[in-house]
């Protein structure tokens, strides 16, 4: 996570288009679109909310990509400016936990798709076969994350075109069976809030804490508008298109939310094998992106760990969780509930991170982000390496999010009083951002003035 030297920076912002397009062109994205329709929405109302939620979410991803070229380091290293070098370990750890959860969910689907392929081949999927498929999936998942940034960027660019072609074929096959004509009644405010929260959190917001992990390799003089546009559009466009495809599928079958045994029901038999192969490869690509950032996050936590060790740790956890999932019918529900709660911190964290960036007008003293490496505490040290204002603001935002959340695990008191209205993502972000501005605006602006080259 060290700052990338200027001589090693290369390429233009357009590189981010291929990365985020390849990462977001997956069956997961199609499933989220199907889930939107499961709220009782007609196709066209679903489309409107899908577009709105993705514009909101990926605008945040675009904004959290702007700091990378200026600093040359990863998102949670930059986050130390808002929380302190030691205080920043907390959001970095939470991010790592969240990424492992996403990786585990992806690996479970990879294994289930592999087992479906084995079943199509007429092989009985007993315990030995299941264990073999899990071992093969773990072996495949190990390859790309070990290769590092440059190969990931190249592979994701080509994957984006392959995935797009396959999903285009899928759209042609689904279109004649979908119900595009029924408009239905306008959704209630409660339904709108639930759908927007899900689309925003599952899309762009879930990638926000990885934005600068990849943009940091761009030259420092990269145009901010182009960096923002490429990062935001690279994820936004495929998310919107594939979620609309998922919504179309959901108008034709009630099992669209199950990507392995449900969604393929609407596809012709000859396409089921290519679809399952597409599911496996696309999910491997997503997990590769997650694992790369997972390693950076563990470094930001303060663990002096090598890339192969991160891959080993994450894969060991994911393999153990996958073993549980394959032999336990309740696992995927538990994982979904876990992820629905862990993302509650993301909105407040992103609000504090971006408010801090705006207050200091994008100017950072990079050596102060790495006190252990430079041997000096720097201007972000504050109280024992912690900026209380950042942590307090996130806690206040998290409290606001919990008050307004409506999930299968927990319903906040304000959400319950409002009949199920879910404002968790938006209330948490607003409270955290405003709180940080009130608590830290003077000290952050003073730091900006002390920043070399300001």
> What's 289's domain CATH number?
1.10.4160.10
**Which residues are paired to 411 by β-bridges?**
406
Q: Is residue 211 in some structural domain? A: yes
Which pLDDT does position 330 carry in this prediction? 62
Q: Is residue 210 in some structural domain? A: yes
DSSP assignment of 216-263 equals: TTS-TT--HHHHHHHHHHHHHHHHHHHHHHHHHHHTT-TTTT-TTTTG
Q: Is residue 139 in some structural domain? A: yes
Which pLDDT does position 183 carry in this prediction? 66
Which pLDDT does position 332 carry in this prediction? 58
Which pLDDT does position 441 carry in this prediction? 94
Spans in the chain with pLDDT lower than 50: 454
CA 43-46-52 angle, to 5 degrees, is 145
In contact, 37 and 43? CB cutoff 8 Å: yes
Cβ neighbors of 198 (< 8 A, separation 6 or more) are 32, 35, 36, 53
Q: Which of 427, 401, 445, 16 is nearest to 227 (CA)?
A: 16
Q: Is residue 358 in some structural domain? A: no
Cα(269)–Cα(244) distance, integer angstroms: 23
Q: Is residue 213 in some structural domain? A: yes
What domain range includes position 265? 10-333
- The token duo for 388 is 């209380």
CA 388 to chain centre: 27
Cα(34)–Cα(46) distance, integer angstroms: 9
CA 139-142-146 angle, to 5 degrees, is 150
Residue for token digits 């689907």? 109
Which pLDDT does position 192 carry in this prediction? 92
Each residue's pLDDT tens digit, 399-440: 999 999 988 788 999 999 999 999 999 999 999 999 999 999
Which pLDDT does position 256 carry in this prediction? 64
Name all contacts of 272-277 with Cβ < 8 Å and 24+ positions apart.
272/120, 273/117, 273/120, 274/166, 275/166, 275/170, 276/113, 276/114, 276/116, 276/117, 276/120, 277/117
Q: Which of 343, 335, 337, 290 is nearest to 314 (CA)?
A: 290
pTM exceeds 0.85, yes or no:
yes
Which pLDDT does position 404 carry in this prediction? 93
In contact, 236 and 91? CB cutoff 8 Å: no
Cα(331)–Cα(318) distance, integer angstroms: 13
Residue for token digits 């408009």? 183
Q: Is residue 409 in some structural domain? A: no
What's the number of domains the chain is made of?
1
Q: Is residue 200 in some structural domain? A: yes
Each residue's pLDDT tens digit, 92-112: 999 988 888 888 888 888 888
Backbone angles phi, psi at 386, to 5 degrees: -125, 135
Q: Is residue 365 in some structural domain? A: no
């Amino acid at each position: 996570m060290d700052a990338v030297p200027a001589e090693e920076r290369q390429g233009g912002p357009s590189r981010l288009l291929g990365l985020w397009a390849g990462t977001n062109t997956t069956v997961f994205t199609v499933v989220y679109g199907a889930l939107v329709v499961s709220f009782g929405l007609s196709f066209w109302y679903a489309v409107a909310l899908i577009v709105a939620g993705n514009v909101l979410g990926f605008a945040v991803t675009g904004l959290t990509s702007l700091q990378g070229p200026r600093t040359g380091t990863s998102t949670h290293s930059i986050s130390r400016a808002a929380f302190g070098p030691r205080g920043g370990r907390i959001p970095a750890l939470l991010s790592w936990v969240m990424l492992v959860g996403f990786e585990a969910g992806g690996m479970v689907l990879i294994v289930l798709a592999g087992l479906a392929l084995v079943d199509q081949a007429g092989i009985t999927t007993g315990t030995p076969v299941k264990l073999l498929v899990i071992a093969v999936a773990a072996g495949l998942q190990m390859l790309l994350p070990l290769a590092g940034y440059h190969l990931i960027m190249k592979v994701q660019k080509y994957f984006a075109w392959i995935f797009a072609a396959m999903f285009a074929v899928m759209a042609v096959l689904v279109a004649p069976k979908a119900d595009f004509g029924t408009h239905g009644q306008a959704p209630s405010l409660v339904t709108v809030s639930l759908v927007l929260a899900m689309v925003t959190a599952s899309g762009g917001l879930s990638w926000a804490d990885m934005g600068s992990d990849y943009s940091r390799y761009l030259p420092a003089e990269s145009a901010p508008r182009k960096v923002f546009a490429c990062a935001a559009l690279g994820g936004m466009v495929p998310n919107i298109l594939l979620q609309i495809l998922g919504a179309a599928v959901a108008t034709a079958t009630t099992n669209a939310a199950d990507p392995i045994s449900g969604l393929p029901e609407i596809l012709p038999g000859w396409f089921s094998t290519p679809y399952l192969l597409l599911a496996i490869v696309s999910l491997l690509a997503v997990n590769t992106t997650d694992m790369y950032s997972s390693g950076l996050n563990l470094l930001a936590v303060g663990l002096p760990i090598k890339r192969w060790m991160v891959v080993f740790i994450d894969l060991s956890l994911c393999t153990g969780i996958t073993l549980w999932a394959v032999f336990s019918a309740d696992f995927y529900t538990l994982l979904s509930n876990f992820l629905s709660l862990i993302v509650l911190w993301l909105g407040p964290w992103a609000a504090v991170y971006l408010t801090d960036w705006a207050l200091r007008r994008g100017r950072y003293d990079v050596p102060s982000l790495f006190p252990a490496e430079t041997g000096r505490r720097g201007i972000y040290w504050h109280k024992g390496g912690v900026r209380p204002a950042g942590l307090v603001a996130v806690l206040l935002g998290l409290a606001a999010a919990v008050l307004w959340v409506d999930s299968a695990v927990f319903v906040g008191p304000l959400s319950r009083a409002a009949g199920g209205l879910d404002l968790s993502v938006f209330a948490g972000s607003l409270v955290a951002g405003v709180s940080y501005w009130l608590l830290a605006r003077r000290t952050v602006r003073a730091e900006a003035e002390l920043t070399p080259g300001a």
